[in-house]
A and B are shown apart, each in its own frame.
Chain A
């Protein structure tokens, strides 16, 4: 948001030309990215529907939706980069400024905050403050896991309930690319409703998201 806010206070550069749909001849797009975007476009009756998955893919390649990333998507999808910027800035998971490698979303919405989510966020933010290239710590709206409040999503993996003592290990695990806080992951938990299930079942084995 900060660079974007600056964008609102910056005059345009009159030396630049209009930002039209990028020229396919002169815009270089990594082959894998192009193929991925084209595959998304083929899934929908209207290829424009692929905008979100395409931006997400470009963000994975570039680390954020940089102007260059937007131009590449624009080139493959035959859209203007402005159109994509407009879309990208609308969605919280698309980053329009450079961010750290590991995304840590700490939920600070009502249910988590009733259980200490704000303090948790402050602790994670402070602990990661010296490593802006490593961590992208964000206070997030309800992540849909209030049953494990206070919680966080670390590179897409939900963990909770978290205590302040968990913070160092959470960062260590993320930094090392290990499974984060295995025993605190949401995936293996049984449903809270004790009357559910016609039989007894063991907890599920932990699952890592496949798409990361």
Chain B
């Protein structure tokens, strides 16, 4: 299916400017939303079935409805930290269609009753942040942000906040701490941000893509949007495809499209003569799937049933030329490097896993070590303060179970290698 909602005009020159965006119908959804009550806007969001595009896939409308009613100071935070390896869809949206995000934020804040909002963008996205800053200035100037927006009596401030390089700041509570000027350590939940988030106030946190979809939903109507896609995975999704494919990049697909169609049909599949060895369906935190799973429907529930997850919608393809140990090491090292260090199982577990993998690489491991490594993953999973630990344990566990033989064979070979070849490793 070729339904394009977010990418309909994505490359139109000047779309990032207010003039072109408005000419393309921009901010019409905002006017429409203001003609409705906040409750009705919320009802549309709930009807759309839109699930969060940041990783956890929680229904957006439901999350908005969790915010307490009343006149206290509420906040909306857009998660633009996009640091999940393999993910680069929010970057495309922010750079090319920043006003769509801003419009979505204003509408969502209206539904949620939030008067202050922030976009937390990863510090590495310099160009995208600059584009957003310029768009924000235009939107302020035009009265889409500020006091009494378009005579609606709804007011909203919007501040762009640049991060400084830490994957964990994508985790929503770590993001809040970081936004408050602290180290980006996740917080204990409960309390959840909807009750006690930024500056202790009720806070709605959504991903860039989620919020950018809001104007589309208001334009189409929630029920109409929900007709797209698979059951309980409605609408379209931006999928970032990377790794061993011929046409890496972002694709907008209707949820429920067969994975093979995305990997082979859209992204061109692995280079000539190579086969898919394994693939991460939702960023490097997702358990790997193998070639057997290529026909799984690309939606939240089907991927979960297949033993993985849709996550951020980032497909990383690994072909059969790559030793699985290299993949495991890359993944484990990343999480070791990014663990905030606050909780024990994640801090020590990621570190220990890397050390074990390095020993396997060096030929200093025995098959017992695979067992230990698998058990360490079990000890991490479900026991950490946030899910960063799980985000390593899940793919590593899946790699151990899918590729046990290859890993054992590697250990055996490495142990038999003459010592001098190991020095360079």
Contact = CB atoms under 8 A, between A and B. Distances in A.
A191 B337 CA distance: 31
Q: Which of A90, A140, A202, A209 has the most CB of B within 10 A?
A: A90
Contacts of A140: 124
A87 B182 contact: yes
Interface in B206-263: 240-244, 247-252
A55 B162 CA distance: 11
B331 A110 contact: yes
A142 B161 contact: no
A92 B248 contact: no
A46 B316 contact: no
Given A187-B127, A192-B250, A196-B7, A46 B180 contact: yes
5 closest residue pairs by CB, A with B? A192-B249, A92-B165, A51-B181, A146-B242, A156-B126
Given A45-B116, A110-B331, A207-B127, A193 B266 contact: yes
Interface string A148-188: 11000100111000000000000000000000000000110
Interface stretch (B85-93, B292-300, B344-352): B85-93
B92 A191 contact: yes
A93 B165 contact: yes
Given A87-B182, A202-B13, A187 B95 contact: yes
A144 B124 contact: yes
A212 B123 CA distance: 13
B155 interface: no
A157 B130 CA distance: 12
Contacts of A111: 85-86, 242-243, 248, 316
Contact of A144 (B10, B125, B267, B316): B125
Contacts of A148: 248
A48 B178 CA distance: 10
Given A56-B164, A91-B165, A110 B181 contact: no
A74 B127 CA distance: 29
Given A44-B159, A144-B83, A201-B11, 5 more contacts: A105-B124, A141-B334, A146-B242, A197-B7, A210-B133
Nearest to B164: A91
A192 B247 contact: yes
A33 interface: no
A54 B340 CA distance: 22
Interface string A10-46: 0000000000000000000000000000000001111
B134 interface: yes
Interface string B280-315: 000010000000000000000000000000000010
Contact-size category for A: 35 or more
Q: Is the interface of A mostly helix, strand, loop or mixed?
A: loop
B58 interface: no
A211 B327 contact: no
A196 B252 contact: yes
A196 B181 contact: no
A97 interface: no
Interface of B: 2, 4, 7-13, 73, 82-88, 90-92, 95-96, 116, 122-127, 129-131, 133-134, 159, 161-167, 178-184, 199, 240-244, 247-252, 266-267, 284, 314, 316, 318, 322, 326-327, 330-331, 334, 337-338, 340
Contacts of B180: 46, 48-49
B7 to A, nearest CB: 4
A110 B126 contact: no
Contacts of A91: 123, 163-166, 184
Given A44-B159, A147-B240, A187-B127, A109 B183 contact: no
Given A90-B184, A144-B83, A192-B249, A197 B10 contact: yes
B326 to A, nearest CB: 8
A55 B134 CA distance: 22
Contacts of B123: 52, 56, 91, 93
A123 interface: no
A197 B9 contact: yes
Contacts of A115: 243-244
A201 B127 CA distance: 21
Nearest to A208: B127
Contact of A142 (B73, B83, B181, B199): B83
Nearest to A211: B130
B201 to A, nearest CB: 9
